[in-house]
Structure 1
Amino acid sequence: MAAINQASSFLCSSSSSSSSSSSSRRHVTRSSINFPKIGTNTNLSNLIPKIQSNKVFVEEISFSPNKNHNKHPRYSSPEVIEKLYVILEAVSDRVEMHKNIGEQRNNWNNLLLTSINTITLSATTMAGIAAAITTIPDAPLESLKLSSTFLYMAATAMLVIINKIQPSQLAEEQRNAARLFKQLESEIKTKIAIGNPTLSDVNESMKKVLAIDKAYPLPLLGVMLEKFPAKTEPAVWWPENLRTTAKVRNGNNNGWSEELEKEMSEVVKVLEVKDKADYLRLGDKALKLNKGLAMAGPLLTGLGAVGSAFIASSPHNSWAMVLGVMGGAMASVVNSIEHGGQVGMVFEMYRSNAGFFKMMEESIESNLKERDVESRENGEVFEMKVALQLGRSLSELRDVAVSSSRCGEEEIDEFGSKLF
């Protein structure tokens, strides 16, 4: 205790002496430190100043609602990020797979068409030569007839296979799948970049991957899409629950209004009556044309094989020559139209376009059916997305809705999409 009292006296005397020595040069504010008197019963803990914890101070600065400081962002769990990266890697791999297989199947179409037409024209030439030398003695007539018949039979078998799998349509399927997987890849990267993805984002991405796999399968045996269905149906490559809840809210109405709901309802009507119906109609025409060509090709080569086999037979010589020559020539024309013109690819394109408009309809309707506007996608963002998907500006999209509301379904004359 004596030591503390002595230190206090020393500090006070030092302060007084230093201030008096400098009073001649400048004015200095006098100050002194007054210590409380310390007795034998004094608690030393009362003399220690209480300093607030730095942790509490930082929390007050960071999270106090009265302060103008940004809150710290909430980060997702490492497991969610890891799962999204696993899905992203699988999607990137599928993009390359569908791209490579699409190129391979496009090569199938070109190579098989060239081979079949070469074989068919060779058989036609042999049949014509055989018909021309029927009156020449010791001519190799039988060899030419057998060779022509064999080539026709080979061409028929190859045509049955190529018409069954439709390589041009397979290539278009893989191109569509690669495009959709690239779109999904970009979507997952955006979710990761924005931050705070949730387990629902992981489940949604998984469902989209499996839906595209089902819509555009890679194998041919067992799961290949039907190339000649009874009628054209829109392609479906999205999960059943298409709508996702928006994470950015714009006020209490989440960007929705009564006018926007009416606008979206009219857009759905236009897409249903004009765009999707038109592509389904064109798809039916392409399907019928493809069916006819697929049956005509093998039939003509088969008739050519029969005709070449009966060349030089006295009762049927004239008809045999016509079938042997004309059958092969017509078959080459039919094959060139079907596979060179890629009618199967055109049918798949129409089917996919109809599926695109069906997806847009379901997306809009799922948002409109959700009565809680806070659970919908943001209205302003959704309107912009619909306009961009249809190749229109916001004002053009609203004009389409207004025009549709003024007339009945049968009187709608403008398509919703300007993109295709």
Structure 2
Amino acid sequence: MATAQASSTIFSHRRIDVRATMSAPNFRLSLNHLSLPKLPTNTHLEKESSPNISFTNNSTRLRVDAPDSGVISKLYEMMEAVADRVEMHKNIGEQRNNWNQLLLSSINAITLTASLMTGIAATSGVNGSGFLALKLSSTILYGAATGMLVMMNTIQPSQLAEEQRNAARLFKQLHGELQTVVALGNPTVVDVNEALEKVLALDKAFPLPLLGKMIEKFPSSVKPAVWWPQQRRKQWLEGKINGNGWSSKLEEEMRNIVEVLKRKDLDDYSRLGNKALKLNKMLAISGPLLTGLAAIGSTFVGNSSPLGSLGVMLGVIGGAMASVINTFEHGGQVGMVFEMYRSNAGFFKLMEETIESNIGERDVERRENGELLEMKVALQLGRSLSELRILAASSSSNGTEATEEFASKLF
């Protein structure tokens, strides 16, 4: 009887101990002060932050595997900053697109008005009452149009708007990546540092100010846009399988894809970018040159020498041609087309560096999962996995000859 009582007492003590252990504080993170689009709810966070409880043999020890609340707080602060940058670039992009439309219509109106005044002054005669007023007004308007055109062609509003659109899209992409990191659970300081490097790289690639930091609009040669930090080794410590999804066949496939990207897609968009750059340079010089010549020609209107008739020709025809060139350059958004080609070349350059950084890592376990990388490359190129493998195989069979097919089907 005494033995039974002792056993009951011991069992009762153990049960109390277990209950006390089970009532360990639940590590929860309060994030109600953040208001971000499409963020996980607090219920989800509580589920991710709840500790995992396990008991060892013949013991009542508690093991708590909770994510670092400091790391999660930093990631959410990063997400808030990224969401704010998305709105900033979106709003400024719309503003600069309005610049392009308003400046285009205003300069064309000024130029055509000056051209019309020059023609009226030439037909009214020197002794006409309004001759001098028309002549001076056309000269002033041409001078104003020349100055505005020089400014507009220097900043290229359509190209600025395209830069901000690209920045907003890439910051949205980064915001989604941060959401995925938090949703998967157990983020580390490495994730925070990588996110910070990506934010700073995007800030540098797509600056908001115009003075001092604006991207050069007329470079000597086209180089792919770079908006990512330097590729480094990445340690993928979870979700490993035998060989980490890599095989010699997959490595060869990825090498062939890189060769196609270099030989076809990257080279083609660099060539198109150079053509758009040369065209834009020619148009940017021609517009102010014609309005400047028209301004000079309008001053000779009414002169009895041959300069008078030449001045009329320059004042009328020069203004009309300047309006056509200005409309073609800024109405056709040639600067935006150049930036689009440059960004597309940068997209292929990023794919090339990502694949090469993985293949160059000798330790397979430190690479990104091979099957995941293959699927990501296929999605970015707008292909299925079977189409991607066929493309790699056709590139390999052609040897040194360039394959007829481009790697990307998206653009």
Establish whether residue 188 from structure 1 lines up as the match of residue 178 from structure 2: yes
Change (3 A) 1:63 1:412: farther
Establish whether residue 275 from structure 1 lines up as the match of residue 250 from structure 2: no
Establish whether residue 352 from structure 1 lines up as the match of residue 343 from structure 2: yes
Q: Which runs of 5+ in 2 are unaligned?
A: 23-52
Counterpart in 1 of 2:167? 177
**Alpha-carbon RMSD:** 2.3
Instruction: State whether residues 248 and 378 of structure 1, in contact with CA within 8 Å, keep that contact through their aligned partners in structure 2.
Output: no
Distance 1:48 1:144 in 2: 113
Counterpart in 1 of 2:231? 241
Which residue identity lines up with residue 276 of structure 1 in the other structure?
L
Pick the aligned partner of 1:62 from 37, 54, 70.
54
Counterpart in 2 of 1:297? 287
Pick the aligned partner of 2:317 from 294, 308, 326.
326
Percent of aligned pairs sharing the same letter: 62
Instruction: State whether residues 240 and 365 of structure 2, in contact with CA within 8 Å, keep that contact through their aligned partners in structure 1.
Output: no
Pick the aligned partner of 2:83 from 86, 92, 96.
92
Counterpart in 1 of 2:395? 404
* CA deviation vs aligned residue, 1:343-392 (integer Å, no higher than 9, x gap): 00000000000000000000000000111111111111111000000000
Distance 1:74 1:395 in 2: 41
Change (3 A) 1:313 1:81: same
Pick the aligned partner of 1:82 from 73, 88, 93.
73
Distance 1:116 1:272 in 2: 42
Change (3 A) 1:48 1:342: closer
Instruction: State whether residues 207 and 213 of structure 2, in contact with CA within 8 Å, keep that contact through their aligned partners in structure 1.
Output: yes
* 1:140 Cα deviation from its structure 2 partner: 1.5
Counterpart in 1 of 2:114? 123
* 1:159 Cα deviation from its structure 2 partner: 0.3
Which residue identity lines up with residue 346 of structure 1 in the other structure?
V
Pick the aligned partner of 2:251 from 237, 250, 261.
261
* CA deviation vs aligned residue, 1:5-59 (integer Å, no higher than 9, x gap): xxxxxxxxxxxxxxxxxxxxxxxxxxxxx668xxxxxxx9978764383567999
Change (3 A) 1:219 1:35: closer
Distance 2:336 2:252 in 1: 37
Counterpart in 1 of 2:331? 340
The alignment's TM-score, normalised by the length of structure 1, stands at: 0.84
Instruction: State whether residues 280 and 351 of structure 1, in contact with CA within 8 Å, keep that contact through their aligned partners in structure 2.
Output: yes
* 1:141 Cα deviation from its structure 2 partner: 1.1
Instruction: State whether residues 159 and 339 of structure 2, in contact with CA within 8 Å, keep that contact through their aligned partners in structure 1.
Output: yes
Distance 1:88 1:373 in 2: 31
Distance 2:357 2:67 in 1: 28
* 1:396 Cα deviation from its structure 2 partner: 0.3
Establish whether residue 225 from structure 1 lines up as the match of residue 186 from structure 2: no
* 1:411 Cα deviation from its structure 2 partner: 2.4
Secondary structure of 1:253's counterpart equals: helix
Instruction: State whether residues 273 and 409 of structure 1, in contact with CA within 8 Å, keep that contact through their aligned partners in structure 2.
Output: no
Query: Larger deviation: 408-417 or 388-397?
Result: 408-417
* 1:64 Cα deviation from its structure 2 partner: 5.3
* 1:408 Cα deviation from its structure 2 partner: 3.4
Pick the aligned partner of 1:156 from 146, 149, 152.
146
Counterpart in 2 of 1:113? 104
Distance 1:46 1:120 in 2: 106
Instruction: State whether residues 252 and 374 of structure 1, in contact with CA within 8 Å, keep that contact through their aligned partners in structure 2.
Output: no
Counterpart in 2 of 1:208? 198
* CA deviation vs aligned residue, 1:317-353 (integer Å, no higher than 9, x gap): 1111110000000000000000000000000000000
Change (3 A) 1:372 1:266: same
Query: Larger deviation: 308-317 or 359-368?
Result: 308-317
Distance 2:383 2:55 in 1: 44
The alignment's TM-score, normalised by the length of structure 2, stands at: 0.86
- For these two proteins, the number of residue pairs brought into alignment is 374
Instruction: State whether residues 280 and 335 of structure 2, in contact with CA within 8 Å, keep that contact through their aligned partners in structure 1.
Output: yes
Counterpart in 2 of 1:31? none
Distance 1:304 1:72 in 2: 83
Instruction: State whether residues 293 and 335 of structure 1, in contact with CA within 8 Å, keep that contact through their aligned partners in structure 2.
Output: yes
Change (3 A) 1:85 1:133: same
* 1:407 Cα deviation from its structure 2 partner: 1.4
Query: Larger deviation: 390-399 or 45-54?
Result: 45-54
Which residue identity lines up with residue 187 of structure 2 in the other structure?
P
* 1:194 Cα deviation from its structure 2 partner: 1.2
Between Structure 1 and Structure 2, whose CA radius of gyration is higher? 1
Change (3 A) 1:132 1:395: same
Counterpart in 2 of 1:30? none
Counterpart in 2 of 1:198? 188
Which residue identity lines up with residue 356 of structure 1 in the other structure?
F
Distance 1:259 1:47 in 2: 65
Which residue identity lines up with residue 211 of structure 2 in the other structure?
L
